[in-house]
Structure 1
Amino acid sequence: MSAIRNRLLGALSGTAGPSSDYDFGSPPPGDVLLRPAGVLAAFDAGTGRLILTKRASSLRHHPGQIALPGGKVDPGDADETAAALREAHEEVGLDPAQVEVLGTMPPHRTVTGFAMTPVLALIHGPFTPIPEAGEVEEVFAVPFAHVADPANYHVEGRIWRGARRDYYVAPWGPYYIWGATARVLHSLATRLTA
């Protein structure tokens, strides 16, 4: 696992700037106050697999989408990393004591008004996910090799709010990884191969 740890640390030392849901096409609207959020890109230290969630289909926002555990920074959170750790504990039952935080990547600007900071981490010891009822439909893991290879990402698009919006996708098995999650993971893959 030291090889994956070293690669992730190397990716954090890169100089690539922030990413955005607006990377393809129209510029983001100006004068928007972005809400801080943190997401946990946590790789199992034993297997190298990345933990992802499938959001519940009943949710009002992003139902059924694939996501990294995480969410907005709450008043009790010290920062985006604390928010990511808290949310991962709530959403999938990941004990923060099992998490080795390696560092953060630049924030990703979402079309929903968040500055989403990806927190890279390793999970040590056995971990059996416990999906949060009503919010997480499924927890699954994707191999490091899939996440780390830029060739696994391509651009698709659709009409959203009357305009075409393009985005990265990185399908894996039955899972359609797309949007902000795929964009963040593409940024990581790019850093890993730089």
Structure 2
Amino acid sequence: MSAAHPAWTTPAALPSFLRPLARHAAVGDAVLGRALQEAPRDWTPRRSAVLVLIAGQEVEDAQILLEERSHTMRSQPAQFALPGGRAEPEDADDAATALREAREETGLDPADVHVLGAFAPILMPFRDATVSPVLAWAPRPPALGPTDPAEVESLLWAPLAGARSLTDPAIHRIGVLDGRATGVAFDLPGDAFVWGFTAMILDAVLGGLELPGMPVAAADAPRVEVPAVRRRPGPGARR
């Protein structure tokens, strides 16, 4: 656990359902239980960050921003992901990286959101990188859209609660790739199958809300093969 960032304050208007999660983010807790301290001492990975943007004033109308990656991307084409990417030298911190990438990909104005904190970096040795999930909140979903079709195909505001939402057990799955379980997945409406790294972050974030009666994806959820359109390999990593 790290000290709270001096710029990360909890706005007075922050909904009560988000406050437990914001407390974890403000001090850099490990959202997936895997922190940078576990990395080999001689390993210097690339830093990257993703934006976990939750919009809404009540849990019943709250939504999380996801983006469908371009179907022509060289890495993970057509998969659903959180806005984000690699850190640049001019980025002051992980929050700056996540906000810059979100602006480049969706047109997000950083002034429209409150940054609540950044969870501990997650190791991704297979990509020689770490990823820091940055938590942010907006009272209502900002007007956004894909800014570069070469990177983003479409945007999706995934609801937190209600039928066919991220917390509806009816859409929870265990993803399977060529017979091997990949972990939690969400079979959202509109052919929006979310799996892999993004689904793991979403599952952890939902659990961090600590709301009674709000289930996270269960280990006994149906096992389903990841749809072909969401699993196409790319010829090489792009970011």
TM-score w.r.t. length of structure 1: 0.80
Is contact 1:73-1:80 (8 Å) kept? Answer: yes
Q: What is the Cα deviation at residue 45 of structure 1?
A: 3.0
Structure 2 residue aligned with 1:24: none
> What are structure 2's unaligned runs of at least 5 residues?
1-13, 212-239
**In the alignment, structure 1 residue 140 sits paired with structure 2 residue 159:** no
Aligned partner of residue 19 in structure 1, secondary structure: coil
Aligned residue in 1 for 2:18: 5
Matching of residue 40 in structure 1 with residue 51 in structure 2: yes
Q: Contact (CA 8 Å) 2:115, 2:135: kept in 1 or not?
A: yes
Structure 2 contact 94–118 (Cα < 8 Å) conserved: no
2:185 matched residue in structure 1: 169
2:27, 2:119 within 8 Å by CA — same for their partners in 1? no
Q: Could you say what the CA RMSD is over the residues aligned between the two structures, in angstroms?
A: 3.1
Equivalent positions of 1:119-158 (< 5 A) are 119-124=134-139, 127-133=142-148, 134-145=150-161, 146-147=165-166, 153-158=172-177
Letter paired with 1:19:
L
Distance in 2 separating the partners of 1:121 and 1:5:
10
Distance, in Å, in 1 between the alignment partners of 2:82 and 2:185 is: 14
For structure 1, which segment, 124-133 or 69-78, has the greater mean C-alpha deviation from structure 2 after superposition? 124-133
Compared with structure 1, are the counterparts of its residues 165 and 32 closer, same or farther at alpha carbon in structure 2 (3 Å cutoff)?
Answer: farther
CA distance in 2, matches of 1:78, 1:37: 12
* Gap change, CA 1:150 and 1:35, over 3 Å in 2: farther
The structure number with the bigger radius of gyration is 2
CA–CA distance in 2 between the matches of 1:9 and 1:68?
A: 18
Partner of 2:80: 66
Equivalence map 1:170-189=2 (5 Å): 170-173=186-189, 174-189=191-206
Matched residue count: 185
Q: How does 1:53-132 map to 2 (within 5 A)?
A: 53-110=67-124, 111-124=126-139, 127-132=142-147
Mark the CA change 1:112 to 1:35 in structure 2 (over 3 Å): closer, same or farther.
same
* CA distance in structure 2 between the partners assigned to 1:89 and 1:126 by the alignment: 14
Range with bigger deviation, 148-157 or 181-190: 148-157
Of 70-79 and 103-112, deviating more is 103-112
Q: Distance in 1 between matches of 2:52 and 2:98?
A: 9
Q: What letter corresponds to residue 101 of structure 1 in structure 2? A: V
Describe the SS at the equivalent of 1:75.
Answer: coil
* Identity value in percent: 32
Calculate the TM-score normalised by the size of structure 2: 0.66
For 1:132 and 1:101, the matched residues in 2 are separated by: 22
